[in-house]
Amino acid sequence: MFSFLQEFFRRGKGISTFVVIREGTGKPARQYRIVPRRLLLALLGSALVLFTFLTALLVLSPLNRLLPEYGSSEIRQNARLNALRITALQDSLAAQEEYMTRLRQVFLGQIDPDTEDPVASETSLPREDYAAPASGELSSNWTDHQQPAITIDLLTENNDTPARMANTGPVRFPSIVWPTLTPVDGFVTRGFNASTGHYGIDIAVEEGTDIRSIGDGYVVMADWTQEGGFTIAIQHSDGYLSVYKHNRHLYKRMGDRVQARDNIAVSGNSGEFTTGPHLHFELWHNGLAQDPSAYLVGI
């Protein structure tokens, strides 16, 4: 058979005639004239089309999971996300266990509740390499919140500082001039999308980078959250609220007064809903989420 094919294709452009005789049927013989080169090109073309179709089917359809490269990449991504979720869950369980242990010690008289706070201990933080201001420590600006407190919109350059704040220095909260500088230098990896519940933008940045406040205001939240990790929120004038999530360390406590461009946190990768070091930044105005890209320079 091999010698026959070799002789057949050796003719190239020449025409070969094949006679087909079916023995025992009595039917007349049939002749076929074939150009070997054309037959060879037709076979190669058919093989190329079939290969292209199968490749597209594997790459563009769900069947690509059968390929080692695609399957292993998806498995690694899912494994990494699951590892992050497990770590966050372990952090929360460790914090709750520490809380219950110290609370039990108070009930048993092993800790004096008047001299030691069983909740606000540094050991109750979710992770050793992550840190937030202890909740038991008072803000240095606690007197600003003494009742009756002055609303932040009244603390402007056009108003005098209340007499009870005279010892703490002048308090001036000018309105933020939009657009303003970003809280950290980086590039946006995910934009604002209210339809998916992403009420902010993600700015990729190297872990350990200082996060800055976009304007003057008061810290209204500085704590750990399951989804956002160490989170800090600042109330500004004119009804604006800025939120900074997934930090590794918080510099400010709830109630602290901050000025524009003050360092308020260190970027990190804390929280459950994170896939790498970045800052999740939100901007709210009178209770409604705003797209920060319209308010920041260089986004």
pTM: 0.55
pLDDT at 42: 85
Residue 269 CB coordination number (10 Å): 17
* Contact status, residue 291 vs residue 192, Cβ threshold 8 Å: yes
169-183 per-position pLDDT tens digit: 445 578 899 999 999
Scored b (16 or more CB within 10 A) or e, 102-126 reads beeeeeeeebeeeeebbeebeebbb
Q: State phi, psi for 88 to the nearest 5 degrees.
A: -65, -40
Residue 202 CA to residue 87 CA, distance in Å, equals 21
| pLDDT < 50 regions, the chain | 116-128, 157-170
At 259 the three-state DSSP class reads coil
Residue 59 CA to residue 65 CA, distance in Å, equals 9
Q: Spell out the alpha helix ranges (H) of the chain.
A: 2-10, 36-60, 68-107
Residue 156 CA to residue 237 CA, distance in Å, equals 9
CA-based nearest residue to 149, from 255, 242, 236: 255
Residue 94 burial (10 A CB sphere; 0-12, 13-18, 19+): middle
66-78 per-position pLDDT tens digit: 666 555 666 766 7
117-167 per-position pLDDT tens digit: 443 333 334 444 566 676 567 888 888 888 888 777 766 544 444 444 444
pLDDT at 13: 66
Q: State phi, psi for 235 to the nearest 5 degrees.
A: -90, 125
CATH code given to domain 142-294: 2.70.70.10
What are the distances in angstroms from CA 267 to CA 243, 254, 280? 13, 18, 10
